[in-house]
Each structure stands twice: as C-alpha cells, then as structure tokens.
Amino acid sequence: MRTLTLNNGLTIPAIGFGMYKSEPGSLAMALEEGYRYFDTASYYGNEGDIPQALEQTGVKREEVFIASKIWKSDMGYDGAMMSFSRTLENLRTDYADVLMIHWPRPNLELEDWKALDLETWRAMEDLYSQGKIRALGLSNFLPYHTENILSHCRVKPQVAQLEFHPGHAQAFALEYYRRKGIQVQAWSPLGRGRVLDDELIRELAGKYHVTPGQVCLGFCVQEGVMPLPKASSPERLRENMACLEFAIDDRDMMRLENMPPLGWSGEHPDRERVKL
C-alpha cells in the first residue's frame, strides 16, 4: 500500500475510507479490500462501527488508522476533552490516530471564533502530549483560520481536510498547506457523484482506460492529496483503491486543475450553507 509521511514522522496510507453515512457492513468490506485508514467523526454517529468491523474481520486495532473529529457543539477545552473520551469509548480503544476540529467556527454569529479554536486546540495538544492522539488535524479550515492556530500552537497540525475534487480543487489553500508541510486530505473526492458525468472527466476516463471515479481519485493522488472516498460495494471499493495504480500526464493534470468550477457541495466555513 502506498503511504504518506506526516510532518511528525507518522506514516499513513495514501487513501482512506470515508465514513459519512457509510453503512455498517461497508467497513468489513473495506478492510477485506485492504483499506486501513478510516475517516469518521463524532457527528457521523458511527464510530462504533469500527471496532465491530475489526472484530468481524480479525484485523488488529494497531493495523488500522482511525481519524475522528470534534463537532461544533463540543468546542472549547472541556468540550473537546469530553468529546474525545466519548470517541474513545465508541471506538473501544485508548488512542486515536488522528483527531481534527471539524469546522473552524460553530456558527457565523460567533465573533471570537479564534479564541474558541485555540482552546479546542490546546486540549488536543494536551492529548497529543499524553500519547492519546498520534496526529492533529483541521477540517474545513481555510488558510486564514489556520494562521491563527499556527501563530499560537505548541504542536503544529499534521493534516488539513478540505472539500477537494476536480472542479473544486481549492488551489490557494492547497498551495498554502503544501508550503506549511501540512498534509491535505480530500473530502468528497468524487464530488458525491456530482462531477462524474463531466465531459473532461469522461474523456480522460476513456483515454486512460479507467472509470470517471478513478480519474477524480487519481487527480487527488497526483496532487499529493489523500482521498477519502466512501463506497458501499466491494467492486467500488476495489475500483477506488486502484486509483493508486495509474498516472495522469502533466497536460491532463493542468486541464483538470483549470476546468470550470463544478460540483461544489454548498458548504463553506464562512457562509450559510447553500442548497444547490
């Protein structure tokens, strides 16, 4: 399995399994297909599916990487601590591989979101120092949210998770995280299916003899971004994993990077959700 090394030396798989609305049965399938990184969140309500799938398949806890997130309503020092202890209970383990702040602000009205982020981060740093978390992350943080953390942190973030797929590749944020040595992960790397019928994606799928989904995931991989696709059948899980095995040439990468905006989810940390 191809891997990525984070700025604190932790090595993780180059692709993970996304668990938002995943069916419990998909996890055992994903383990059978070789997935070893699971992206869940307290908000998803399914952290408990992981120990169940490990038990079912006989894969050991230490062979997998588990990432979870602190939800908006649990931010702050005490909230983060309580959220993390519930997460460990659900996961039936005594450590998490990655813990992230899910969104940089709980609501748009909160003016002092910077202080709240820092308090949450301080709790995560304490847990990291105690060896209860192996890497720290930020989810849906744009560069200016992250600057706040970087200017005050004891432990620098290892991971940043963003919506990322052809048509919404957030070039400025990607370049920023590259410069800072923070690994970007792609949420909705398939644009939840919204981008798969695009003309360019279809053309490249034909050219490289792959599927439209593989073009999207291959695009992430070649940008150095870790995709976290969610899928519900062994065929799709296998197909998605195979994105690590082909290469898109430079010219086509540039075409994908510069295609017109497409398939945005409508979620943005500084806007009311747009219903598309």
Ligand X SMILES: NC(=O)c1ccc[n+]([C@@H]2O[C@H](COP(=O)([O-])OP(=O)(O)OC[C@H]3O[C@@H](n4cnc5c(N)ncnc54)[C@H](OP(=O)(O)O)[C@@H]3O)[C@@H](O)[C@H]2O)c1
Task: Please say whether the dihedral angle defined by the alpha carbons of residues 160, 166, 172 and 178, taken in this order, is positive or negative.
Answer: positive
**By C-beta, is 158 or 240 nearer to ligand X?**
240
The set of long-range contacts for 196-201, using a CB threshold of 8 Å and a minimum separation of 24, is: 198/166, 198/167, 198/259, 198/262, 198/263, 200/166, 200/255, 200/256, 200/259, 201/166
Tell which positions 10-29 bind ligand X, by CB under 6 A: 18-20
Residue 229 as a binder of ligand X (CB under 6 A): the answer is yes
Angle at 54 between CA 52 and CA 55, to 5 degrees: 65
Q: How far is the CB of 147 from ligand X (least distance, A)?
A: 19
By DSSP bridging, strand 226-227 and strand 3-5 are: unpaired
Residue nearer to ligand X on the CB measure, 157 or 191 = 191
Site string (144-163) toward ligand X, x via CB under 6 A: -----------------x--
Give the residue at shortest CB distance from ligand X.
18
From candidates 79, 104, 189, 218, binder to ligand X by CB under 6 A:
189
| Interface pick for ligand X out of 213, 219, 220, 252 (rule CB under 6 A) | 213
Cβ nearer to ligand X, comparing 72 with 180: 72
Measured from the CB atom, the residue of 192 and 202 that comes closer to ligand X is 192
CA gap 130, 243 in Å, rounded: 36
Is residue 228 part of the contact set for ligand X (CB under 6 A)?
yes
Minimal distance, residue 271 CB to ligand X, in Å: 14
For the CB of residue 13, give the shortest distance to ligand X in the complex, in Å.
Answer: 14
Supply the minimum distance, in Å, between the C-beta of residue 166 and ligand X.
11
Contact 2, 30 (CB under 8 A): no
Partners of 137 in beta bridges: 100, 159
Task: Using CB under 6 A, pick the residue from 3, 11, 233, 258 that binds ligand X.
Answer: 233
CB 24 within 8 A of CB 44: no
Q: Within the chain, where are the H helices?
A: 24-32, 49-57, 77-91, 113-129, 143-152, 171-180, 199-208, 212-222, 234-241, 250-257
Q: How far is the CB of 258 from ligand X (least distance, A)?
A: 21
Quick one: 61 or 192, whose CB is closer to ligand X? 192
In the complex, what is the shortest distance from the CB of residue 2 to ligand X, in angstroms, rounded to a whole number? 18
Residue 231 in the binding site for ligand X (CB under 6 A):
yes
Residue 176 a catalytic site member: no
Task: Give the three-class secondary structure for 266.
Answer: coil
Q: Which of 148, 232, 238, 246 binds ligand X (CB under 6 A)?
A: 232
Q: What are phi and psi of 16, to 5 degrees?
A: -130, 170
User: Which residue matches tokens 């034909």?
Assistant: 206
98, 66 Cβ separation under 8 angstroms: yes
By C-beta, is 37 or 128 nearer to ligand X? Answer: 37
Express the helix, strand and coil content of the chain in percent, nearest 5 each: 45, 15, 40
Catalytic choice (37, 44, 176, 177): 44
- Contact residues for ligand X, defined by CB under 6 A: 18-20, 39, 139-140, 161, 187-193, 196, 211, 213, 228-233, 236, 239-240
Residues with active-site annotation: 44
